[in-house]
Structure 1
Amino acid sequence: MPLPISQKHPKGLYILFFAEMWERFSYYGMRAILLLFLIDNVTGGMGMSAAEGAAIYGIYTASVYLLSLPGGWLADNILGQKKAIWYGGIVIMLGHIILAVPGGSALFFIGLTTVAIGTGLLKPNISSIVGELYPEGGARRDAAFSIFYMGINLGSFLGIAIVGYLGQRVSWHMGFGAAAVGMFLGLIVFHFGSARYLKGLGDVPPAKISTPETVAQSKTNSKLGYGLIALIIAFLVILQITGTIDMTTAQGLAKGAGVIIVVVSASYFLYILVAGGLTKVEQRRVLVLIILYLAAALFWAGYEQAGTSLQIFADRHTQRMLGGWEVPSSWFQNFQPAFVLIFAPVLASLWISLAAKGRNPSIPVKFAAGLILTGLSFFVMVAASGIAVKGDLVSPLFLTFTYFLQTIGELCLSPVGLSSYTKLAPKRYVSQLMGIWFVATSLGNLIAGLFAGGFDEENIMQMPALFNQVAIISTGFGLLLLIFWKKVKSWMGGVQ
């Protein structure tokens, strides 16, 4: 929760605020129209089926978070955070410029890949510099991240509104071009602002301490890494040969990516549990992190339907006339950042008030609440799709209430999850486990894309069953976590 105005923050925070705001403008703005462009076959889009377009959307959004792992490594070992942000921003802008050029599918995929690479380089490192501004930690640092989080959602709101309108009402490529302009403005802010207000922060990679033990550990980790890569490749080849997954299609590639994420995550958790030299207390805490990882992946699989199945529903089955003007369907995605901006201070105040009374819900209870609220939001969509299958356009209030429930769920789970991973992770594995937290988001995005691929344009009768599936799984896991929250809390070893 932001601190009173009297407790001032360094000006560097506001440089990072506006740089991140414009980067999120470009990311969420382009994301808002991405699936619509992929499935459009009338006004210059790619003309794909919903299944193929949603799979590509899922691969892209999952890749953004997966690439934050090598992006963080490059900053820590070669570039330093500041150069990683600068070069990442340039790559993102170039990617959007490529997307703005009508040039066929090959050029489009080059642009999409370029944006993903740049985002993976920029995203993890700009947040790290925010933390470096407050080496003392404490409430002032927490308040800084709250302010920074507002910048993310403000950029998202503006991007969806502007890029969404230009993409749907003027031309798809004009929308992609607007995203490039947004990133350009972010680069200007960062270049001139960082030179003055971020001196000495993130300029060079952190110094590495080399000892015989660290060198031996590095060699062991390299061997394990190569072995894991060989195992994944062999597993994927077997799945392809047996016909379990057809990776010559977009859907098959998405499923293959899902296999890689699951195998890597499971292998890493198993490695630190068995060979990580953990104490009994640390092992139990890692078990809690595994539970939170699964909960987060399920949550984001529902929440990220905003750009996939819920976007299709808004575009094809929702009443969007306001007077004589039709609201762009992409604008419905703006409910999420708008509700975050409105309710984040409310939830932050609530947690502080409950903590003062000794009644602040534990981490597993907040995670359970996030999942249950997401599940309830899809029960709302079950009702909405029941109306749509009759051939009627559905009131926009259904999607509005759906996004409201999901956003309150996000505020229960997302900031709490980020904090809990830093608290529960063994000290020597904090950075790596923070990367795994983002991998959970990546897996959720991928599942969201694969789920939306189940929408058959020729058979809208299956919509209620599909939404009901998400509702039951999310609510069920949330209730299970709620039932066993005391046991899970006991494994946390006193961490609040």
Structure 2
Amino acid sequence: MSNLNRQKIVDSVPQSGFFGHPKGLFTLFFTEFWERFSYYGMRAILVFYMYYEVSKGGLGLDKTLALSIMSIYGSLVYMSGIIGGWLADRMFGTSKSVFYGGVLIMFGHIVLAIPGSVTMFFVSMVLIVLGTGLLKPNVSTVVGEMYSEEDNRRDAGFTIFVMGINMGAFLSPLIIGGVMDYSFHLGFGIAAVGMFFGLLVFNFTKKKNLGIAGTMVSNPMSPTEKKKIFTIFGIIAVILAVLCGVLIPRGLLTFKGFINLVTILGVLIPTLYFVVMYRSPKTTAVERSRIIAYIPLFIASVMFWSIQEQGSSILANYADERTQLNFAGIHISPAWFQSLNPLFIIIFAPIFAWMWVKLGKRQPTIPQKFSFALLFSGVSFLVILMPAYFGGSDALVNPLWLVLSYLICVFGELCLSPVGLSATTKLAPAAFSAQTMSLWFLSNAAAQALNAQVVRFYSVENEMIYFGVIGGVSIVLGIILFMFAPKIQGFMKGVR
């Protein structure tokens, strides 16, 4: 997009009206608030819905399979962002992509809200994955379009936007988790209503608040290209339908087979990204050096997210079956623990931001911050094995152990997530700046794809070994990364 078009977009957006920020921030703040309310509320009860018995309103799937599906689902959500970004850049523009994505998410939750079969469950998952891929990366892009590149309000605007994300993620597990014991489908229905509110806010305020932000297609396809792409997509859809129709009845395409396929893609896709960027003639020698520096950071990110994302699978199951849920005179829903991560981020993110500013040039380097993240995440898993060490695996665990584990992991997230986003923009080759940001999000996809294999080893009987090995590996990798941090910093060629 040319600088002229960028300025044209900025000029079309009312530049005040929401806490001193562009008026469009109101639209995007509440759109994303309701989208995250919808997504995280659904996710908070999803794993329980999969493995609870049919008599309790669940699907009655094997618990280990349910944990793997939960990880694969999370992986596909992050992978789909690549497709969503491409469709916005080439066909729809970001505004239409956000709206279409919200509609798909809402219908996915509506399908979940209707009692049905396992087949309908997977239909809903496809809708939500595609919808989130369209909405999630593109709503953030529209936020950036409202500010000129010289506008010093930009970082603060994104901070307010992210606060909306965490507010939605905090409230929804409390509300939807509260109705879980009564009806899973009611919970999914509330998630659908949340997305509906988000669509209402977006659709009825975008014209007045957003101007032309999100309406321009940055790299539009010609009619010939569109025809070619639609033909290719149609052929792929027919081939996939035929393969499923042939392989599934014959038992050649199973849940486990699909999980294995996604795991392979989760590792293969980012590997190909690195190879293509490094070997491209558009990449300079300095940029190649920075790509080398980015590889250990990417691996560290995969290790961290592998632990953090188990909060919605393994730790959710731990909350359900190993935790004392009658505590301090109240009954705790196991889904409520999913609110801890966004709550702690809301509380501690400003403190970490202040700390880095206060330290200035004395603050740790990017690789050192990543190493701290691995240390924190590893310790969070060592903490959760302590109850079994002291009291055995038969007694129910005080819920404060889980609270402490989530808190420590959030400290790690605040050392890695915002730092990783910033480092990605600095280390990305100029010709691959947008794709490198996609690569960053693929570290989460790769982590959850690997989790789909790892979670199969978890059981109450071997939980100490499970948490101990994974936590120990993270700590060892953190120590190694810290030791090699100066070397990695050298490959960054001046980036700090």
Q: Tell me the TM-score normalized by structure 2.
A: 0.88
Matched with 1:315 is 320
Q: State the percentage of identical aligned residues.
A: 40
Q: Which residue of 2 aligns with 1:17?
A: 29
Counterpart Cα distance in 2 of 1:174 and 1:95: 14
**Aligned match of 1:169 in 181, 184, 198?**
181
Output one character per residue of 1:204-237: Cα deviation in whole Å (capped at 9) or x when no partner.
Answer: 2014699xxxx9xxxxxx9xxxxxx9xxx9xxxx
Tell me if 1:361 matches 2:358. no
| Aligned residue number for residue 267 of structure 1 | 272
Which of 68, 92, 101 is matched with 1:88 structurally? 101
| Corresponding residue number in structure 2 for 1:43 | 56
Q: Which moved more, 1:416-425 or 1:138-147?
A: 138-147
Q: Are residue 283 (structure 1) and residue 296 (structure 2) matched?
A: no
2:200 is matched with 188
User: Which deviates the most, 482-491 or 273-282?
Assistant: 273-282
* Alpha-carbon distance in 1 for matches of 2:259, 2:397: 31
SS at the partner of 2:110?
Answer: helix
Q: Distance in 2 between matches of 1:453 and 1:247?
A: 21
Separation in 1, partners of 2:18, 2:27 = 19
**Residue 389 of structure 1 contacts residue 461 of structure 1 at CA under 8 Å; is this kept in 2?**
no
Of 444, 449, 473 in structure 1, the residue corresponding to residue 447 of structure 2 is: 444
The answer on whether the counterparts of 1:317 and 1:388 sit within 8 Å (CA) in structure 2 is no
Aligned-residue offset at 1:7: 7.6
Task: Supply the distance in 2 between the matched residues of 1:273 and 1:314 (Cα, whole angstroms).
Answer: 44
RMSD in angstroms over aligned alpha carbons? Answer: 2.4
Decide which moves more: 443-452 or 404-413: 443-452
For 1:20 and 1:115, the matched residues in 2 are separated by 15
d(CA) in 2 for partners of 1:299, 1:390: 26
SS state of the match for residue 269, structure 1? helix
Which residues in structure 2 correspond to 1:5-84 (within 5 Å)? 8-41=20-53, 42-84=55-97
1-side partners of 2:433 and 2:219: how far apart? 17
| Counterpart residue number, 2:334 | 329
Compared CA separation, residues 399 and 43, structure 1 to 2 (3 A): same
Q: Equivalences for 1:42-441 in 2 at 5 Å?
A: 42-137=55-150, 139-166=152-179, 168-207=180-219, 248-355=253-360, 358-387=361-390, 389-441=392-444
Q: CA deviation at 1:22?
A: 0.4
Gaps (5+ residues) in structure 2?
1-16, 230-235, 241-246
User: What's the secondary structure of 2:306's corresponding residue?
Assistant: helix
Distance 2:221 2:91 in 1: 15
Residues 106 and 208 (structure 1 numbering): CA distance in 2 closer, same or farther, change over 3 Å? closer
1:439 CA displacement: 1.0
Query: C-alpha displacement at 1:59, in angstroms?
Result: 1.4
Distance between the aligned counterparts of 1:341 and 1:364, measured in 2? 24
Aligned pair in 2 of structure 1 residues 174, 426: CA closer, same or farther (>3 Å)? Answer: same
- SS of structure 1 residue aligned to 2:408: helix
- Return the alpha-carbon distance in structure 2 between the equivalents of residues 444 and 262 of structure 1: 9
Deviation of 1:472 after TM superposition, in Å, equals 1.3
Partner of 1:243: none
Letter in 2 for 1:307: S
Runs of 4+ that moved beyond 4 A:
207-210
Amino acid at match of 2:418: P
Tell whether the 8 Å contact from 1:314 to 1:332 is kept in structure 2 after alignment. yes
Could you say if the C-alpha distance between residues 302 and 137 of structure 1 is closer, same or farther in structure 2, counting changes exceeding 3 Å? farther
Q: Which moved more, 1:269-278 or 1:481-490?
A: 269-278
SS of 2:213 mapped into structure 1: coil
C-alpha displacement at 1:273, in angstroms?
Answer: 1.2
Unaligned runs of 5+ in 1: 216-221, 223-228, 234-239, 241-245
Report how many residues are paired: 458
